[in-house]
Amino acid sequence: MNLHEYQAKELLASYGVPIQRGVVIEDIKDLDSAVSKLKEETGTDWCVIKAQIHAGGRGKGGGVKLAKNMAEVKEHANNILGMMLKTPQTPGGLEGMGKLVRKILITEDVYLPNANGEMDIKEFYYSILMDRERKCNVIIYSTEGGMNIEKVAEETPHLVHKEYIHAHMGLQGYQTRKIAHNLGLSGAAFKSMCKFVASTYNAFIGSDASLIEINPCLKTSDNKIVAADSKASLDDNALFRHPDLAALRDVHEEDPTEVEAKEHGLSFIKLDGNVGCMVNGAGLAMSTMDIIKLCGNDPANFLDVGGTADAKRVETAFRIILRDKNVKAILINIFGGIVRCDRVAQGVVDAYKNIGNIPVPIIVRLQGTNAEIAKELIDASGLDVHSAITLQDAADKVTELVS
């Protein structure tokens, strides 16, 4: 589950990470009170208006604007709230439809001179995530933060540093100092950075996050380290331990079909191909997608119907898959371990009859308990359903029917 920037910042702040303070609004009529509240807290007139959507690159798409006075705040807030924001990361990229901005964050400007009037800021890149190959967490950081980290990683990878955290030992003091040193910091900024690393790491562990990314992580002119942006992804499987964080889910940001599937207990992920898949078990679903690809087609989705592939679930799964107009065939691949294949076959036939008109061919491969009876059931149904016993056979049939 992904968090909005303002939610991720609140999470970080609750672990003592210094953040750029701000107020979030959904309705433009709350703007005046939000800005006066912020001014009271921060004492600055300059603020930044930031679109809250689940996509990065907002700065590039016009979703982040600096305002030097109230007139500019109003202008930018009116433009950004309710806009369809296109960024390199929204669906279809800068050429796509964009995403509707339902909330904006008004933050204090932290890019300010110090008490002596000197401007001395630095934008760092900083993130914590899991390194699956090394089976431990890693902190990735760079002096070259800001809006072009992808370019930095591609063209000057030696400027991107990695610090691996031992799974049992946890983050060590020398590691926080190494990071601060590699970022070229000294004095007060060095100390702030060490604290920043320790507290962000606590936030990462404490919230069961799979990613926390802070870009830019700002060294201010008065040598504080502040999260000026933040992105957080939490592990869905651990959300039951964090009801307060689970409540932050914003369904507007999720694919509506995926949300509906979740409500019915199906794990569904939409993809771009032409062959719909309905499978029981995540591993089997992965190998089904592999064999579809090996036979020259592309999976239209990942769908795990789970252990109880009964008629109701099969029917919901059909309806969800069929909403995708790219789907030219549906491959059902069920292994009858606990579930009996004849039950599933009956489920498929019933679901098919309930839905009425399914415009694409269906290939069913049932293997395991009562597979033969299941095949007979399907063959005798008289519907546009083709049965197969082996996966290869099923995939070949798909190719034949799609082309």
The site that binds ligand GDP (CB under 6 A) totals a number of residues, namely: 18
Q: Where are the beta strands (DSSP E) in 102-176?
A: 104-108, 122-131, 136-142, 160-165
Quick one: DSSP state of residue 266? -
Tell me the residue nearest to Mn ion as measured from the CB.
Answer: 229
Under the binding rule (CB under 5 A), the answer on residue 123 touching Mn ion is no
* Most distant CA atoms of the chain, gap in Å: 86
Under the binding rule (CB under 6 A), the answer on residue 64 touching ligand GDP is yes
Answer for which of 229, 304, 315, 342 binds Mn ion (CB under 5 A) is: 229
From the list 23-31, 59-67, 194-202, 376-384, the region that binds ligand GDP by CB under 6 A is 59-67
Roughly how many angstroms between the first and final C-alpha of the chain, as a whole number? 38
Q: Is 165 helix (H, G, I), strand (E, B) or coil?
A: strand
SS3 string of 167-226? CCCCCCHHHHHHHHHHCCCCHHHHHHHHHHHHHHHHHHHHCCEEEEEEEEEEECCCCCEE
Under the binding rule (CB under 6 A), the answer on residue 302 touching ligand GDP is no
Under the binding rule (CB under 6 A), the answer on residue 90 touching ligand GDP is no
Q: Is 125 a catalytic residue?
A: yes
* Cβ closest to ligand GDP, residue 121 vs residue 341: 121
| Long-range interactions of 381-387: CB distance < 8 A, separation 24+ | 381/349, 381/352, 383/349, 383/352, 383/353, 384/358, 385/348, 385/349, 385/352, 385/361, 386/361, 386/362, 387/363
Shortest reach from residue 83's CB to Mn ion, in Å: 18
Under the binding rule (CB under 6 A), the answer on residue 94 touching ligand GDP is no
Answer for which of 6, 34, 38, 57 binds ligand GDP (CB under 6 A) is: 57
Under the binding rule (CB under 5 A), the answer on residue 230 touching Mn ion is no
Shortest reach from residue 305's CB to ligand GDP, in Å: 37
Under the binding rule (CB under 6 A), the answer on residue 146 touching ligand GDP is yes
* Cβ closest to ligand GDP, residue 90 vs residue 199: 90
Cα 226 to chain centroid, rounded:
24
Task: Indicate which residues carry an active-site annotation.
Answer: 125, 213
Residues in the site for ligand GDP, rule: CB under 6 A? 20, 48, 50, 56-59, 64, 66, 109-111, 146-147, 215-216, 228-229
